[in-house]
């Protein structure tokens, strides 16, 4: 959610900035709603005040044993008008709220302008893709040949876009989770959380999944939704909270499964573990002072990169352009890992500064030591990393001609010393 004051006072500036990301702000509609709101609100509050004054008088007069019928008549006359006005007011306020809830965040000045994902800017490449002396197989071929990855079994159990792993591959996924968490906890000072995988609508609104992206979620008959990312559970810990300024920044992490319905993405990446309805992820969340959020974003990105570096996986860093950043994002870096079978880099982490966009939706605040007043925090989130895709990357980058998977050095201790997964 954008700052309503900013929106009101500099509507054209906001519209211009949102246009860079392909969002058309209907300035006329906004001004009309806003004008209506103001008139109604002022009038409603005026009448409410009148009513309150009268009511207070009634109390005083009654206490003195005097007749109140005259005042009572006055205040009764207010009744109907006031009822109607407040109905009108809340209708307009709801419209205004819905209007604003659909508006995406304003891109930061450092975000490259662009019209599509082709305009994303490559910031750096790290590591060199290995040269293979044999035809590379993709993770599906490798995994099925090993007998440790089955999409068929998953389809029997559930449907498409799920996977069953067993033996070493199942263990490697668990090892990766442990490996990533250990680094974030021991080296990067994150606090670990265990959180619900089902959340309510307020939480989903807070982090921006609602109202716009309801279709991407798995919703339950109980009224809860499965989390599409631990960002929802972690970030919403701050909802309606006010923390002391000196406790900032907060660095939180959790491993969770993530559930995405992604109705719109059918036909894309139909093969393999790249796009699944259920996958494991380590999430990193920062809650910080507004002055520091861009330094924090750099640190967050570095923490995600560390994992790729330790696993010796080649990757590149993209700064997403205005057309490609997410709804809540003011700025996003994507980390893309090299996948030899696809002969390209694929997203494995997305690190985002939402500034106060989510914080405003959540009323997540800190108490300013300067003013003593609550102010909105900035929230950031990033994957550190997507575990399923990391597994894919290891399989494809570390395969040999026989179809065996060599395990990265750093991960071997987590695999009980195992160095190669063989048939």
Partner RNA sequence: GGAGAGGUGGCUGAGUGGCUGAAGGCGGCGGUCUUGAAAACCGUUGAGGGGUAACCCCCCUCCCAGGGUUCGAAUCCCUGCCUCUCCGCCA
Do 87 and 40 contact (CB within 8 A), yes or no? no
Residue 350 β-bridge partners? 334
Among 22, 29, 66, 76, indicate the residue that binds RNA (CB under 7 A).
76
Nearer to RNA, 59 or 264 (CB): 59
Site string for RNA, 309-348 (x = CB under 7 A): ----------------------------------------
The reply on whether position 35 binds RNA by CB under 7 A is no
Spatial separation of the C-alpha atoms in residues 355 and 357, rounded to whole Å: 6
Nearer to RNA, 41 or 188 (CB): 41
Which region, left, alpha or beta, applies to residue 104 given φ > 0 means left and ψ of -120 to 50 means alpha?
beta
Spatial separation of the C-alpha atoms in residues 200 and 26, rounded to whole Å: 31
Q: Which of residues 349-388 bind RNA (CB under 7 A)?
A: 363, 365, 373-374
Site string for RNA, 77-96 (x = CB under 7 A): --x-----------------
CB of 90 to RNA, least distance (A): 8
Task: Look up residue 412 and give its two tokens.
Answer: 């071997």
Do 86 and 51 contact (CB within 8 A), yes or no? no
Q: Which of residues 168-187 bind RNA (CB under 7 A)?
A: none
Nearer to RNA, 345 or 366 (CB): 366
Site string for RNA, 45-64 (x = CB under 7 A): xx-xx-xxxxxx-xxx-xx-
CB of 386 to RNA, least distance (A): 27
Among 16, 31, 38, 214, indicate the residue that binds RNA (CB under 7 A).
38
Q: Which of residues 4-33 bind RNA (CB under 7 A)?
A: 4-5
Site string for RNA, 228-267 (x = CB under 7 A): --------------x-------------------------
Nearer to RNA, 60 or 124 (CB): 60
Q: Which of residues 99-158 bind RNA (CB under 7 A)?
A: none
Residue 252 β-bridge partners? 191, 285
Among 11, 20, 36, 72, indicate the residue that binds RNA (CB under 7 A).
72
CB of 371 to RNA, least distance (A): 9
Spatial separation of the C-alpha atoms in residues 384 and 91, rounded to whole Å: 43
Phi then psi for residue 419, to 5 deg, are -105, -30
Task: Look up residue 179 and give its two tokens.
Answer: 């490996």
Nearer to RNA, 59 or 147 (CB): 59
CB of 55 to RNA, least distance (A): 4
CB of 419 to RNA, least distance (A): 36
CB of 75 to RNA, least distance (A): 4
CB of 85 to RNA, least distance (A): 11
Among 6, 27, 42, 419, indicate the residue that binds RNA (CB under 7 A).
42
Q: Which stretch binds RNA (CB under 7 A): 19-27, 71-79, 293-301, 379-387?
A: 71-79
**Residue whose entry in the numeric block shows the structure tokens 């009980």:** 416
Show Cβ contacts of residue 295 under 8 Å, excluding neighbours closer than 6 positions: none
Q: Which stretch binds RNA (CB under 7 A): 14-22, 74-82, 188-196, 393-401?
A: 74-82
CB of 357 to RNA, least distance (A): 14
Can you give the binding site for RNA, defined by CB under 7 A?
A: 4-5, 38, 41-42, 44-46, 48-49, 51-56, 58-60, 62-63, 72, 75-76, 79, 242, 363, 365, 373-374
């Amino acid at each position: 959610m954008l700052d309503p004051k900013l929106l009101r006072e500099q509507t054209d500036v906001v519209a211009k900035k949102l246009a860079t990301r392909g969002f058309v702000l209907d300035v006329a509609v906004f001004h009309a709603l806003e004008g209506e709101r103001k008139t109604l609100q002022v009038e409603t509050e005026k009448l409410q005040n009148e009513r309150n004054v009268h009511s207070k008088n009634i109390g005083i007069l009654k206490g003195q044993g005097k007749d109140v019928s005259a005042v009572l008549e006055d205040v009764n006359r207010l009744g109907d008008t006031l009822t109607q006005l407040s109905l009108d007011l809340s209708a307009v306020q709801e419209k205004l709220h819905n209007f604003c809830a659909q508006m995406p965040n304003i891109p930061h000045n450092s975000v490259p302008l662009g019209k599509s994902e082709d305009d994303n800017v490559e910031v750096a490449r790290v590591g060199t893709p290995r040269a293979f002396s044999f035809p590379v197989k993709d993770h599906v071929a490798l995994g099925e040949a090993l007998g440790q990855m089955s999409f068929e079994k998953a389809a029997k159990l559930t449907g498409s876009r799920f996977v069953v792993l067993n033996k070493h591959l199942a263990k490697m996924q668990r090892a990766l989770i442990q490996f990533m968490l250990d680094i974030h906890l021991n080296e990067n000072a994150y606090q670990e959380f265990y959180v619900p995988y089902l959340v309510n609508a307020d939480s989903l609104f807070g982090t921006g999944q609602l109202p716009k992206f309801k279709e991407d979620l798995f919703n339950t008959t109980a009224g809860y939704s499965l989390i599409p990312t631990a960002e929802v559970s972690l970030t919403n810990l701050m909802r309606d909270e006010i923390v002391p300024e000196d406790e900032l920044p907060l660095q939180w992490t959790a491993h969770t499964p993530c559930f995405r319905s992604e109705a719109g993405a059918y036909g894309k990446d139909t093969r393999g573990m790249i796009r699944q309805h259920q996958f494991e992820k380590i999430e990193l969340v920062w809650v910080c002072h507004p002055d520091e959020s861009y330094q924090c974003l750099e640190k967050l990105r570095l923490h995600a990169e560390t994992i790729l570096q330790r696993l010796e996986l080649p990757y590149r860093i993209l700064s997403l352009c205005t057309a490609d950043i997410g709804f809540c994002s003011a700025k996003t870096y994507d980390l893309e890992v090299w996948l030899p079978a696809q002969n390209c880099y694929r997203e494995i982490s997305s690190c985002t500064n939402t500034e106060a966009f989510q914080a405003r939706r959540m009323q997540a605040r800190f108490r300013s030591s300067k003013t003593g007043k609550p102010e909105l925090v900035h929230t950031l989130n990033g994957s550190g990393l997507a575990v399923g895709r990391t597994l894919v990357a290891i399989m494809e980058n570390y395969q040999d001609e026989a179809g065996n998977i060599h395990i990265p050095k750093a991960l071997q201790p987590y695999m009980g010393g195992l160095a190669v997964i063989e048939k």
